[in-house]
Structure 1
Amino acid sequence: MAAEPTTPERAMTRSQDKRADEEAQKSDAAQHESKESASDTPSEGDQGLQDNSNVPKMSFLKLFWFFFYNFGLFAWGGPVAQIALIKDKLVVQDKWITLTRFQRVFSVYQILPGPEAAELCMFFGCLSAGRIGGIIAGMAFILPGFLLMLLASYVYTLAGFENQYFNASFRALQPIVAAMILRATHKIAEHSVRKHDTKKIDPFLVIIAVCTAINCALRLNIFISLGLYGTIYMFIARRLWIPAAVLFALQYCGYAIYAVFRGVPSPVSLALGVARAPSLINLFVLGLVSGSLSFGGAYTAIPFVQVEAVLLGAWLPQSVFIDGIAIGNILPAPLVIFATFVGFQGAYLENGSLGNAFAGAIIITLGMFFPCFLFTIAGHELLERLVRNQFLASFFDGLCGSVIGVIAMIAAQILKASVEGNLDKAKEKTLGEAVAATAQVGPAAVLYVLALAVLYKFTNKYTALFLVIAGGVAGQFLFLDV
């Protein structure tokens, strides 16, 4: 029977075994890297983030037609369907870039203002034909929906204000739009209040969303909440509990002091006053500021446009504003295209000139899309470095959480307005008209509940289109005689 090795011998044996294991691991790693290189898969180091070898170089005309035909004409179903279409065509089928790189690019645009689908088209256009190519690709994606919205705005102007059939259909669409916004709030919240590493719900982000909604109800300015909660979450992410608690308490102490000496803020205190009248320059600034605030997509721009145009400026009726959102939901375009409708109707209502209306539609659309063009074309690599910065990343996380509260509050306000309809003007009407206006509330509430149920049950990209068509037909039976 062989003698057992002594303690020094056992130690030497373990050391030799450890070195052998390390060498084997290095060999396996080298073989793995070799296989990746052979299959054109990016190494672990760069994750394929800089590999543009598969991107075709196109002429400007060919690039325009490529994005116009493949994406602009088929951008139905909202941002989720649009992004899936771009990913399937350019990443999965044509393999312009790796899936890893696409996910990084998409994460950048999720926390920056502007419609992500349009920004992705601009990004791919930049890869193919430089910065000018990015501008061309973005315009090709937006153009079909923009032209259709111009046409819809014109038709609405011809028939929507006086035609009882037209108005009956849009009266039915208003609660359906309110349901769409509430469902969208839930969708956005599903990824905006989760931790990046564990994908679990972050209770602090949920609290931020709830408190922002409360602040909106208290009529605190939206910008105060966004900046404040972005800063608070920066402290929370670094476990700086005392500064976070102090800032949280100060907002309500400041509000209480203001309320005591100046009274509760008015609803228009949420506005900046950039569009008190729908002049062309005001419409451009309204679009520019709204586009700069559209974190999480178009739904964040909705409350700002509403408070400026409907509440403070009072040059656009609430019902017309909701109709514009309804039309935007069924067109092959980013939902922020509803701004084109707002600009058209606002400029038309100002002086009744169709030429001024078309100019207003164009100018507000330029303002709305300018920020996303600027961010994307200016340099994606710089944006990626900024997003990877942990200091700024936590601020954006808090800001996105706060955005959920803003959207939730506007969803509640639009729900109230869409169900009540003209109920607030019932006192100005005859008894019969007041009773008829009150009778609208029940059917509108039923439409809201049914639309919400359909949106949660069916996730097909054409669900919104089906609801709008069904609502237009239902309006002829429910609201025509009102």
Structure 2
Amino acid sequence: MCESDETKEKENDVYPPNYVEKEIELPSDEFEDNSKVPKLSYLRIFLLNLWFGFNAWGGPVAQIALIKDVLVIKEKWITIPRFNRVFGVYQILPGPEATELCMFFGCLSGGRFGGFLGGLGFVLPGFVLILIFSYLYVLVGLTNDRFNASFRALQPIVAAMVLRAVHKIADHALISHTTHRFSYWLFGMAILAAIQSALRFNYFITLGVCGIAFMFIERKIYWLGLIVIALEIIGYGIYIGINKDIPSLSALGVGVAKADSGSGPDPGHTFALGLVAGSLSFGGAYTTIPFLKAEAVTIGQWMTVTTFLDSIAIGNIIPSPLVMFSTFIGFQAGYLWGGHSIGYGFLGGTLIAIGILFPCFVFTILGHNILEKLVRNHFLAAFFDGISGTVVGIIAVTAMDLLQSSISSPTGLVNIPPQQLAAIEAKNSSLAAVLYVLTLAVLYGFKKPNLSLWLVIFGAVAGQFLFLNDQ
């Protein structure tokens, strides 16, 4: 490597991982040079990424930093500017970015099958661990007071994490990939999406309309973009005029995971739930939360909102892409559909995981050159930007809903004498509110690795002192 290249690496090393598109003016060969990528056997590719998977603590930022430190800074497979540009592509497309990066490096070293093994190795530890936790949850979590006490404390902590994630996602989702600056138009679309979610607009309609509108706005055809949004609002007004009421909560999703009363969705619908959620995962796992909640809790009604919060808590305990919390949801679906069968639970967990990861595997294995052409197309890049900005508003409304549910959760309030129930509910709600505020303070006040993991551990322990009700 020449001296000028080394200087560029040192200069770019001071920037955070999400500092990406500003490097596009560098020479093209720097973005195509694979001469330093070692050609590893399939087994070594799998084992390397399996090691990344076992060390995938602390969420996507920590996971991406680990991959970058090992393969880019130490091993120098590719240059830092090229890594930033690659990461920029995966920030725009759906799917967990850390998994996609493992697949990208696997493709460089071993072709498309190497990319598949890279992604598989990275997600496998978390997938297996969350299946084990899902089994333990249905085995002892429904009747065990101590188990419930820990999860009662975790619910407001997780709700605070979701709210903090809204801010983190907004840091890059509200940046235009054309100007590389904060976009007031994207911010406005996030606000519009939040209002529409509160008024129960269907998520797909909101995402599609805002994505299309921003395609025109980015090209300064403002009037056409505003017309697209106006037509959506007029259509909503006509709907209200005909039905004399705002849409029901079931209008938020599509009902892909709707189930019979007292049962979960069948295996085919469980896979479809994962497939649709994976296709919507712009910006990472938190963007799947509104859709999965709408389908499993609101429309399907085969999962309570408190159990949904528990699934996110479990996802924060294990070394894994957070999107794998969906495996817990699939386990619950299969467990209920199979008549409380553990075997069907494992089947449901496996199917939803395959579904939710399928889009990112397909996108990545298609080849990075194809992906770059897609996201560098002005219309498509603007469409993806519009969707990413819109998702921020949708998650914000979901975060508020999860806050309310975590404060008023009935977890652990079984077999309580009626004369004591009101007092215990008031006490638990007050303690949950305090935990929520304290968690937000910690999340904003400290930037430590594995902070989410430590908060979850703290909550599990604190629950034994705060929410273990003496009867």
The question of a shared fold, defined as TM-score above 0.5 by the shorter chain, is answered with yes
Q: Please name the residue that 1:306 is paired with.
A: 293
**SS of match in other structure, 1:422:** coil
Task: Give how far 1:187 is off.
Answer: 0.6
For the 8 Å contact 1:119–1:372, the answer to whether it is kept is: yes
1:283-298 to structure 2, matched below 5 A, reads 283-298=270-285
1:246-395 to structure 2, matched below 5 A, reads 246-262=227-243, 263-277=245-259, 278-350=265-337, 351-395=339-383
CA RMSD of aligned residues (A): 2.2
For the 8 Å contact 2:177–2:381, the answer to whether it is kept is: no
Which residue, out of 88, 102, 105, partners 1:107? 88
Q: Distance in 2 between matches of 1:224 and 1:431?
A: 47
Q: Please name the residue that 2:19 is paired with.
A: none
What are the superposed Cα offsets for residues 343-401 of structure 1, whole Å, 9 maximum, x if unpaired? 11222133111111111111111111111100000122111011111121111111111
Q: Which amino acid aligns with 1:452?
A: L
Q: Distance in 1 between matches of 2:6 and 2:309?
A: 55
For the 8 Å contact 1:76–1:82, the answer to whether it is kept is: yes
Task: Give how far 1:459 is off.
Answer: 1.4
Q: Please name the residue that 2:433 is paired with.
A: 445
Q: Please name the residue that 1:9 is paired with.
A: none
Deviates more, 1:125-134 or 1:231-240: 231-240
1:82 and 2:63 correspond: yes
Q: Distance in 1 between matches of 2:366 and 2:26?
A: 28
1:462 and 2:443 correspond: no
Q: Which amino acid aligns with 1:242?
A: W
1:46 and 2:28 correspond: yes
**SS of match in other structure, 1:48:** helix
User: Which consecutive unaligned segments of at least 5 residues does structure 1 have?
Assistant: 1-32
Task: Give how far 1:198 is off.
Answer: 5.5
Q: Distance in 1 between matches of 2:383 and 2:228?
A: 14
Deviates more, 1:444-453 or 1:470-479: 470-479
Does the C-alpha gap of structure 1 residues 157 and 37 become closer, same or farther in structure 2, counting only changes over 3 Å? closer
Compute the TM-score of the two structures, normalised by the length of structure 1.
0.89
Q: Distance in 2 between matches of 1:261 and 1:101?
A: 54
1:243 and 2:224 correspond: yes
Q: Please name the residue that 1:145 is paired with.
A: 126
Task: Give how far 1:311 is off.
Answer: 0.8
Task: Give how far 1:45 is off.
Answer: 3.1
For the 8 Å contact 2:177–2:385, the answer to whether it is kept is: no
Task: Give how far 1:438 is off.
Answer: 2.9
Does the C-alpha gap of structure 1 residues 86 and 258 become closer, same or farther in structure 2, counting only changes over 3 Å? same
Task: Give how far 1:243 is off.
Answer: 1.3
Which residue, out of 140, 146, 152, partners 1:165? 146
Query: What is the aligned length?
Result: 447
Q: Please name the residue that 2:163 is paired with.
A: 182
Q: Please name the residue that 2:37 is paired with.
A: 55
What are the superposed Cα offsets for residues 451-474 of structure 1, whole Å, 9 maximum, x if unpaired? 000011111121111111111111
Q: Distance in 2 between matches of 1:343 and 1:391?
A: 35
Q: Which amino acid aligns with 2:280?
A: L
Does the C-alpha gap of structure 1 residues 111 and 39 become closer, same or farther in structure 2, counting only changes over 3 Å? closer
Q: Please name the residue that 1:435 is paired with.
A: 423
Compute the TM-score of the two structures, normalised by the length of structure 2.
0.91
For the 8 Å contact 1:77–1:330, the answer to whether it is kept is: no
1:123-142 to structure 2, matched below 5 A, reads 123-142=104-123
Q: Distance in 2 between matches of 1:40 and 1:421?
A: 53
Which residue, out of 179, 187, 195, partners 1:206? 187
For the 8 Å contact 2:296–2:302, the answer to whether it is kept is: yes
Q: Please name the residue that 1:29 is paired with.
A: none
Q: Which amino acid aligns with 2:288?
A: A
For the 8 Å contact 1:74–1:332, the answer to whether it is kept is: yes
What are the superposed Cα offsets for residues 81-118 of structure 1, whole Å, 9 maximum, x if unpaired? 00111111111110101111111111110011110000
Q: Please name the residue that 1:12 is paired with.
A: none
What are the superposed Cα offsets for residues 157-193 of structure 1, whole Å, 9 maximum, x if unpaired? 1111110100010000000001111111101101111
Task: Give how far 1:195 is off.
Answer: 3.4
**SS of match in other structure, 2:420:** helix
Q: Distance in 1 between matches of 2:74 and 2:304?
A: 46
Deviates more, 1:390-399 or 1:115-124: 390-399
Does the C-alpha gap of structure 1 residues 457 and 37 become closer, same or farther in structure 2, counting only changes over 3 Å? closer
User: Which consecutive unaligned segments of at least 5 residues does structure 2 have?
Assistant: 10-22, 260-264
Task: Give how far 1:429 is off.
Answer: 8.3
Does the C-alpha gap of structure 1 residues 34 and 166 become closer, same or farther in structure 2, counting only changes over 3 Å? closer
Q: Distance in 2 between matches of 1:414 and 1:35?
A: 52
What are the superposed Cα offsets for residues 295-314 of structure 1, whole Å, 9 maximum, x if unpaired? 01111111111111111111
